[in-house]
Structure 1
Amino acid sequence: MSAAVSVESGVLDDYRARLRPGVIDELVTSTGLRADQAALGAAVDAMGMAGLQAARAEARTFAADEGVTYGTGLTGSRNWAIDPIPVLLGATEWADLEAGLRQRARLLDLVLGDLYGEQQLLRRRVLPPEVILAHDGYIRQTEGISAPGRRQLVIAATDLGRDPEGRWTVISNRTQAPSGPGYAMATRRIISRVMAGVHRSMPLARLRGFFQTFTAALQDASPSATEPPRVVLLTPGPNSETAFEQAYLATLLGFPLVEADDLVMHRGKVWLRAGDRLEQVDVVLRRVDAAFADPLELRGDSQLGIPGLIEATRNRTVAVVNPIGAGVLENPGLSAHLNAAAEALLGEELRLPMPATWWCGRDADRSHVLANLENLVIKPISRASGALRYGWQLTAQERDELASRIAAEPWAWCGQERMHLSTAPVVTRAGLEPRRFVLRAFGVAHDDDYRFLPGGLGRVAARVGEHTVSNYSGALAKDVWVISSEADQLTPTSRDRVVAPVLLARSAGLSPRVVDNLYWLGRYAERAEGTARLLTVVDDFAEDNSSRTRTPGARATEALLQTLAQVSGTESLRQDGSPLGYLRQVVLDGSRTGTVRHCATQVINAAQHVRDLLSVDTWSVLGRLQQTLDDTPDDDDQLQPLLADVLESLLAFAGIVAHSMVRDESWAFLDAGCRMERAQLTLSVLTSAFAEAKDRQVEDLVVEGVLRAGESIITHRRRAAAGTGPTLALESAIELLLLDRANPRSVLYQAESLAADLALLGDEASAAKALALVKALDAVRPEELLETAALTTRLRELEQDFRRLSDDLTSLHFSRQAPRRPQTAGWASPWQVADD
């Protein structure tokens, strides 16, 4: 290790004073800076605490704006927390660490192949059978199955910590469905802006080349000779803790994000449901845990997997990455035997050390663990037995209970020496705090070896003194910088140069689940906007006329309130109720269908399902919309500013869709939803507002409100002033909102746009139905609809026509697979069999 660099800094001196004796820090030493940290230390010094705290706030803002989240579902997720000070690794240090990681990945690949193949390690007892066969990650149904590519283990992830001697030490393996590379890239994007000056000034290894190699590695795993092979990323869905990363990783790799509903097993092969056709899948990048991956052979109640997937891998019609059963390598009991496996399989000692581990299935090891419970980390070999225990944090009674469990099932436990991890500085309101640091490294199989993401993903504990460093416990992310060397430069393979670009040019069809969510994303966004516009108008009328009973303005307000209730589908205002209080409910009550909040929630929910198809700018807009509705005003009189903010977000979303989406089928389905909703909403407003005859004065006021809600009031006034429009206000509204081909708010405009969207989709039959609506609207004459009954009858006919077309689209394009229901075989248990 190079000598430390001396530095004078008030910020770093204060931080140095907080370090625990004997613990290595990633940035400073007791007298200066660690090797290779001079530039970073100088940057931290120059920023001072005020600058660092501003950077911390800026990182949080960027994470929120880009929708980087971790956690379950819409309500359980939290913004990805990032500390702005990166961890820096020198080129030599990284080269040494990467060499150890490559060796370890090769070893784990060989171990995995043997455990599901010849099982020589078990037969020769290099690995005790109890360690493997008792682990819940060992999937017996996949014995004898080998992946068709060069490697069984395509993705290798390793958690590491630095010990008190400065050595990188392996904490655990992550091979089941490792998460993190997408978060590493998202973290880098944010920190490169927050710490732009120092980031640009340093020769850092870039991350993009790793993802190009990742793409090639997945293609290499294909059992098919198809060029390019079709790869999909199988996700549990938007309620997964790492839903953001899965969608982001899909965009980085260029592969579609799919759920179980998007895939079907047919003739022993996996197919992607793409409209009215099936497209064969060659490789499944699995982010669904093994137990849920195949409900036919594993958990029968799983809705996340594909029935028959294991049989398809057995027949080599599809490859699964990582293979079902790779989770056995996460077994902490392996640590006690991995050195022996390295000698047997590689003829080498492991370069990266591991904490001393004692497997309790051996008498001597068990005696040692039981005698030293208070000093060891006690780990079950399977997660089913619960979480790890820190012996020194247990009470005497808890240690006794744990000892009894170990004695009862010794093979299921191991003890590991306590590891004193290095610390890294974390920016807090009270200054820099030293917190435990863990590095997760990611590698992918590349030709005959493994290539690793430079640096990986760093995490620091949520609190000072916290031993567990995990996302579940609230850890913060750290960007990890690696000083570049010439060896770091990616030299593309022929596959990188030729196949990956071809893959990106090959568009995958959209499944019914995806197009359903795109369509309803468009519909709910338009519904939220239309409802917010109508609310703005009605709120304005209510404020002006609430104290003027029996006036034309008050009667017009009553008519518009009733229109709002019918259009939104919410309960009407009670006779003794407050109009402003009622309007507040229609805006903010998320438990009632049809309110602005309910529509906005549905927009965000639908967007989560198609996240990989949307611009990253979408999430700052939707985040702002959510925040606007969460910041509820205390006063009903504050609805106008609130509605203005809601409309601003919805218009920004519409602008992103209009100006960022390629005009392909994704855009066509989303736009079709917008057009369908706007047409139906406009027809509903016209029908509700003019279903009953009114005095001319009241009618004119209602017309003005409807035209304002339909963004057509200015055109109406200009035409009236110029004498180019109809004399009657109602006739002008009918012309502008129903029949004006040049008005993007008219029903005729929506029908023509809808026909164009459906033609783009290749759905000629539905496009013809939309064109029939255009023809029907062209035949309408405004003067023929001035009589209330005629107007209401024609508007309701048009509403029914649009609803029928929407129903046709639903049955044709959005049909999902029926939910799977497990069936239990009626086999008799031994005690149910009567003696003969």
Structure 2
Amino acid sequence: MQPPEARAGQDETLDAHGRLRDVWRPVMAAVHRLGPEELARRATALNRMTGLAGPFGDAPRLIYDPLPVLLTAGEFAELEGAIRQRARLLGAVLEDLYGPQRLLRERWIPPALVLGDRRFLRGLHTSAPLAYPRLALYAADLIRTPDGSFRLLREHAGAISGLGHALSLRRLAAATLPEIFPAGGLRSLRPAREMLVDRLYRGAEGRLVAVLSASTASSRPSPAAVDEALLARSLGLLRIGPSDIATRKGALHMKTLSGLLPIATLIRGISGIDLDPLEQTGRLALGVPGAFGALRAGVLSMWNAPGTALVEAAELLPFLDRLCEPLLGEDPLLRRATEEDRALASRAAFAGGPQLVSLPIAFRFFAWNDGEQWRVLPGGLGLPLEASASDSPSFGCKDIWVLEPEEEEDYRIVGPPPVEPPNLGFFLAAAHLPSRLADNLFWLGRSVERLEAACRLLMLALPRLESGTSLPRDIAERTLLIHCLARAGLISSEIAGGTVSGRLLRQTLARGQRIGGLVAEVDRLVDASSERLSPSMLATVRFALRQATESLPKEEMALPVLLSFTATFAGIAAENMSRDGGWLFLEIGRRLERGVTMAESFAILLDAPPERLEPGMALSIELADSVLSYDLRYAGILSPGPVLSMVLADLFNPRSLAFQCAALRACLERLAAEDEAESAYRLQREVTNLVGAASNLGEPLREVAAKLRLLSDRMHRRFFALLPEPRSLEEDEVANSAP
């Protein structure tokens, strides 16, 4: 046996004699077959995928390393017992400190260290235990020392980060680097994840379970917010913020399009100090007034309860380490790491560039209380030791593999079957959709359509403005297009009053950054709505959007690439989104914007007597992208009746005005918005009746656009503004899903 000094910082892949460990042979053989350059390329691809498919796009997040760190079944079994013991210890300490405080009275812990710590929340000190364990979720960072044992580096007992990454990394790595995954013997995370979800919903008894995040905005969210979004996605939960929550009769409810739905359990991502501004004088925008009262009343469970971060205080650590035997009657299974242990921590290979880099590593494991015992996730995160405290390693985080020929019975789903999804009553189409997300999806649909309409109009106008021909029809077309450009805000009204050339139009667009602003708004709203889009949808949409953004400086290809993006987005929405509340509001936004844009453009193009209508009719057919259909149906002969029928009344043409009204009506009926659906139907009939007018349609079409805008305003008042009803809050405002 080598002396410890000779084995300081020993590589995780090697045994005590410096030989490759058996468990590492298949993985390292696959790595050597790939070679360093290909491995570096795969690492880049993995992180590119996480950027495209992950929440919030390019927000700060952990870098992923494709190489895992391995544990045998025996090693994990020992760690599992030690982590369970540590979680039970901290849970018992917290229940005492926030309850009878025997540890303070008997001087096991100095009272000044607890009562003087700002993380001790007096508002959560109760005479009786809370209805749910205060500590329900726990994480521990460990290091391996030269003798092969593990030491406790730090603990996480408050708002815990990293679990979302731990549940997501393996799936992404398997798609990027399948060669290193063994054919069998890798313990799956799925059974443990399902047991965790089952625990959350069984305790909820039909009410909502969600991840509470400090930030639900899309503007540069924190790494913690990214992890919370990944956790919500992995567990099939909603991620909500304080603005999504209302307090009624001492309980918390989520604001949804169907009313207030009662919340049973929140996985907390907000500091306990900021959680309840009424009791902690915290920042109102960050907190949920009434949260402490709901916890004390037993109508809310929170993972973890506010104040649990107290046991992370460095001053308490020496006292906590001595409490295992008095509280649990057991000898401690985990020793705390010393500075010497840190210096001798084992090292792992990180694929941070063309060559593998060996760095000291910390192992982060996660555990949760299932109501009877503590469960430990058979995996976790491997983090570079110097960055494990900040969760921002420059060389990435690793997946932890537990190798085993077969899954033990203990990791299969046991006990009663999972609970059935709650019955949310009549308003099923949007029952689980927070108002904030509905608003973001609505405006995402409108912004994409606004971008497409601007690009189509520019593709129609630029060649005509650059031609410079002086034929009367060409002059008439240019005049009409200039007015359409001014209406769309692509040129100023002052410029529209004079002669506009293609060169002037390009210069105006470059100066005004109108198209770039539309692209940026779409990008922002895609991030804000990412929780309702699957990873594959996000990756496809963001890749197309990135191409569109990169094309903006290249005038000759920018417009086709932008139209390609809008077509990709429309196809993804049509074929990949389920027809629930999210899709409905995206579709409503698209149809409203397309309807308004078309009505206002046609009001310009078709505002002429019959003898002067031909230029406007030709442009209308092109703007509605219906040239081929018109040529096949009417042999290309322009006549007011057929043209108006196709662009205004044709219910089989997805770019006719009546089609937009019919689609709006169908969506609104699914949302049980009968009055708004009836308004859309009346608009459809009104548009259809315009076909017989055949000329001077400017004013009627402008009225249609105004009515569509009025319908949009009514939608906002009904679904998004959350204006109080002219009566007091009654019980029937709370959704029928209450137990």
Instruction: Summarize deviations over 1:475-514 as a string: whole Å, max 9, x none.
Output: 512122111344266332334x231x43599964333223
Q: Contact 1:149–1:221 at 8 Å: present in 2 too?
A: no
Unmatched tracts of structure 1, length 5 or more: 4-18, 357-375, 377-415, 819-836
1:116-515 superposed matches below 5 A: 116-144=98-126, 148-149=130-131, 151-219=133-201, 221-222=203-204, 227-236=205-214, 237-238=216-217, 239-275=221-257, 277-356=259-338, 418-460=342-384, 470-472=390-392, 474-484=394-404, 485-487=406-408, 490-495=411-416, 497-499=417-419, 501-503=420-422, 508-515=431-438
Q: Partners of 1:191 and 1:469 in 2: how far apart?
A: 24
Offset, 1:322? 0.8
Distance 1:260 1:693, change over 3 A: farther
Residue 803 (structure 1) aligned with residue 713 (structure 2) = no
Distance 1:780 1:804, change over 3 A: same
Aligned partner of 1:94 in structure 2 is 76
Instruction: Summarize deviations over 1:705-739 as a string: whole Å, max 9, x none.
Output: 4433322121222233176xx525xx554332222
Q: Contact 1:150–1:221 at 8 Å: present in 2 too?
A: no
Q: Partners of 2:315 and 2:508 in 1: how far apart?
A: 57
Distance 1:816 1:420, change over 3 A: farther
1:59 corresponds to which of 28, 46, 55: 46
Q: Partners of 2:61 and 2:623 in 1: how far apart?
A: 35
Q: Contact 2:461–2:478 at 8 Å: present in 1 too?
A: yes
Aligned partner of 2:19 in structure 1 is 32
1:709 corresponds to which of 601, 623, 628: 623
Structure 2 counterpart SS, 1:206: coil
Structure 2 counterpart SS, 1:109: helix
Paired amino acid for 1:455 = G
Structure 2 counterpart SS, 1:798: helix
Structure 2 counterpart SS, 1:117: coil
Aligned partner of 1:9 in structure 2 is none
Q: Partners of 1:817 and 1:417 in 2: how far apart?
A: 59
Structure 2 counterpart SS, 1:284: strand
Q: Contact 2:27–2:181 at 8 Å: present in 1 too?
A: no
Q: How many pairs does the alignment contain? A: 710
1:727 corresponds to which of 621, 639, 660: 639
Q: Partners of 2:665 and 2:180 in 1: how far apart?
A: 53
Structure 2 counterpart SS, 1:345: helix
Paired amino acid for 1:659 = E
Q: Contact 1:335–1:354 at 8 Å: present in 2 too?
A: no
Aligned partner of 2:558 in structure 1 is 642
1:679-698 superposed matches below 5 A: 679-691=595-607
Distance 1:561 1:199, change over 3 A: farther
1:813 corresponds to which of 708, 713, 719: 719
Offset, 1:609? 3.5
Identity %: 27
Offset, 1:633? 5.3
Residue 761 (structure 1) aligned with residue 671 (structure 2) = yes
1:646-661 superposed matches below 5 A: 646-661=562-577
Distance 1:513 1:428, change over 3 A: closer
Structure 1 counterpart SS, 2:267: strand
> When the two structures are superposed, what TM-score results if normalisation uses the length of structure 1?
0.78
Q: Partners of 2:578 and 2:235 in 1: how far apart?
A: 18
Offset, 1:335? 2.3
Residue 567 (structure 1) aligned with residue 488 (structure 2) = yes
Residue range with higher mean Cα deviation, 105-114 or 569-578: 569-578
Q: Contact 1:49–1:431 at 8 Å: present in 2 too?
A: yes
Offset, 1:299? 3.5
Residue 22 (structure 1) aligned with residue 4 (structure 2) = no
2:455 corresponds to which of 507, 528, 532: 532
Instruction: Summarize deviations over 1:530-563 as a string: whole Å, max 9, x none.
Output: 22222222234344x1x54687546634532441
Q: Contact 2:135–2:304 at 8 Å: present in 1 too?
A: yes
Q: Contact 1:275–1:512 at 8 Å: present in 2 too?
A: yes
Q: Partners of 1:771 and 1:160 in 2: how far apart?
A: 64
Q: Contact 1:113–1:146 at 8 Å: present in 2 too?
A: no
Distance 1:709 1:778, change over 3 A: closer
Q: Contact 1:98–1:452 at 8 Å: present in 2 too?
A: yes
Q: Partners of 2:636 and 2:393 in 1: how far apart?
A: 68
2:537 corresponds to which of 618, 639, 646: 618
Distance 1:676 1:93, change over 3 A: same
Q: Partners of 1:311 and 1:271 in 2: how far apart?
A: 13
Instruction: Summarize deviations over 1:366-405 as a string: whole Å, max 9, x none.
Output: xxxxxxxxxx7xxxxxxxxxxxxxxxxxxxxxxxxxxxxx
Offset, 1:425? 1.0
1:43 corresponds to which of 30, 40, 54: 30
Paired amino acid for 1:668 = L
Instruction: Summarize deviations over 1:443-471 as a string: whole Å, max 9, x none.
Output: 1112421111112122236xxxx566633
Offset, 1:319? 1.7
Q: Partners of 2:634 and 2:61 in 1: how far apart?
A: 52
Distance 1:611 1:280, change over 3 A: same
Q: Contact 2:457–2:485 at 8 Å: present in 1 too?
A: yes
Paired amino acid for 1:741 = L
Offset, 1:40? 1.2
Instruction: Summarize deviations over 1:556-614 as a string: whole Å, max 9, x none.
Output: 3453244123124653584698745744764x78x86xx33333333333343343322
Aligned partner of 2:656 in structure 1 is 746
Q: Partners of 1:31 and 1:578 in 2: how far apart?
A: 76
Offset, 1:92? 0.9
Residue range with higher mean Cα deviation, 558-567 or 190-199: 558-567
Q: Partners of 1:645 and 1:436 in 2: how far apart?
A: 46
Paired amino acid for 1:134 = G
RMSD of equivalent CA atoms = 3.1
Offset, 1:39? 1.3
Q: Partners of 2:552 and 2:704 in 1: how far apart?
A: 39
Offset, 1:685? 1.6
Paired amino acid for 2:646 = L
Paired amino acid for 2:314 = P
Residue 776 (structure 1) aligned with residue 686 (structure 2) = yes
Paired amino acid for 1:233 = V
Q: Partners of 2:605 and 2:242 in 1: how far apart?
A: 45
1:794 corresponds to which of 700, 721, 725: 700
Offset, 1:313? 1.1
Paired amino acid for 2:595 = A
Aligned partner of 1:666 in structure 2 is 582
Offset, 1:634? 4.7
> When the two structures are superposed, what TM-score results if normalisation uses the length of structure 2?
0.88
Q: Partners of 2:324 and 2:393 in 1: how far apart?
A: 33
Residue 718 (structure 1) aligned with residue 628 (structure 2) = no
Distance 1:268 1:633, change over 3 A: closer
Paired amino acid for 1:596 = I
Residue range with higher mean Cα deviation, 607-616 or 200-209: 607-616
Unmatched tracts of structure 2, length 5 or more: 725-739
Structure 2 counterpart SS, 1:169: strand
Structure 1 counterpart SS, 2:647: helix
Aligned partner of 2:731 in structure 1 is none
Offset, 1:243? 3.2
Aligned partner of 1:369 in structure 2 is none
Q: Partners of 2:224 and 2:377 in 1: how far apart?
A: 19
Residue range with higher mean Cα deviation, 436-445 or 751-760: 436-445
Paired amino acid for 1:538 = A
Structure 2 counterpart SS, 1:656: helix
Q: Partners of 1:633 and 1:31 in 2: how far apart?
A: 55
